[in-house]
Chains A and B, each alone.
Chain A
């Protein structure tokens, strides 16, 4: 390459590409925070929630109930909030259903977070699970 092309090359290298919008990093953060394997998430999280509930109860020795069974402990917790965080949404285009109908399929990914609280001890328990929602909407062509 001649010198002129080297100079152009150097000039191009000095240009700095624009950065992605801050929302992109935020959405990556949400996506990376979601457990990788959904099967494990669905099976392990309830178990973890139960264990956490037991652990929380043990942190309150003043509670008069002596060593409650997990089922009894869980019953003491009341749901106080439920949130859905939508972190990805995708239009998957047209699909043909089994009956031959044409439809458009949308896939949305959420993290559902449910919080329980024990009104007597004020101990709380939060349970977050990933959820994928698939919507199929029939379309008609004019």
Chain B
């Protein structure tokens, strides 16, 4: 992954990576609106303070998104203890992915299967597939060993396959 060229505007970058960031933010927030707030806050923070740091800008941005989501979760938990949910997000029913021209049932089945995954597997899967991070980067992001990230990824794929196969059999 390359550094951000000096002449690249934030709009180009946001257009390219915004959907991936939003999907990742939705892992860690309760609603689409919260996830959008997190993406906005994280992106502004990143663009102002972190993009010149060098290294992998995309990984830095995902870190920024995760921190913003954690901050929001803390604020929310202070706001109302009775509304407090476990971390894990994806509780809203809005689609996670664009509707393809064909095979929308399959997209819906995949989304449903994703929502059923354990949080720790799903966040690794999302960061790997749509965040395009390496296992080392995911490990740094989540504070786990790279081997654990890799095994969670394999478990997640296996669980998805099982759920989708069962859905095919019953559907």
A93/B22 in contact, CB under 8 A: no
Q: Is A91 an interface residue (CB 8 A)?
A: yes
Q: With A16-B98, A18-B97, A24-B39 known to touch, is A32 a contact of B10 (CB < 8 Å)?
A: yes
A17/B98 in contact, CB under 8 A: yes
Q: How many residues of A contact B (CB 8 A)?
A: 29
Contact with A along B66-90 (1 / 0, CB 8 A): 0000000001001100000000000
A18/B95 in contact, CB under 8 A: yes
The contact of A94 among B10, B47, B48, B78, by CB within 8 Å, is B78
B22/A19 in contact, CB under 8 A: yes
Looking at the complex, which of B54-62, B133-141, B154-162 is the stretch in contact with chain A?
Answer: B154-162
The contact of A18 among B75, B98, B125, by CB within 8 Å, is B98
The contact of A17 among B22, B78, B157, by CB within 8 Å, is B22
Q: With A12-B129, A24-B40, A92-B75 known to touch, is A18 a contact of B22 (CB < 8 Å)?
A: yes
A8/B22 in contact, CB under 8 A: no
Residues of chain A lying within 8 A (CB to CB) of residue B23: 17-18
Residues of chain A lying within 8 A (CB to CB) of residue B152: none
Residues of chain B lying within 8 A (CB to CB) of residue A11: 110
Q: Within the complex, what minimum Cβ distance (angstroms) separates B72 from chain A?
A: 9
The contact of B154 among A1, A13, A18, A93, by CB within 8 Å, is A1
Q: A15-B110, A18-B97 are in contact. List 17 more A-B contacts (CB 8 A).
A: A5-B157, A8-B157, A12-B129, A12-B160, A13-B129, A13-B130, A15-B107, A17-B20, A17-B22, A17-B23, A18-B19, A20-B21, A24-B36, A25-B11, A25-B18, A28-B14, A94-B78
Binding site for B on A (CB under 8 A): 1, 4-5, 8-9, 11-13, 15-21, 23-25, 27-29, 31-32, 36, 90-94
Q: Could you list 17 examples of A-B contacts with CB < 8 Å? A: A9-B129, A11-B110, A16-B98, A17-B97, A17-B130, A20-B39, A21-B36, A24-B40, A25-B18, A28-B10, A28-B43, A28-B44, A31-B44, A32-B10, A91-B75, A93-B75, A94-B79
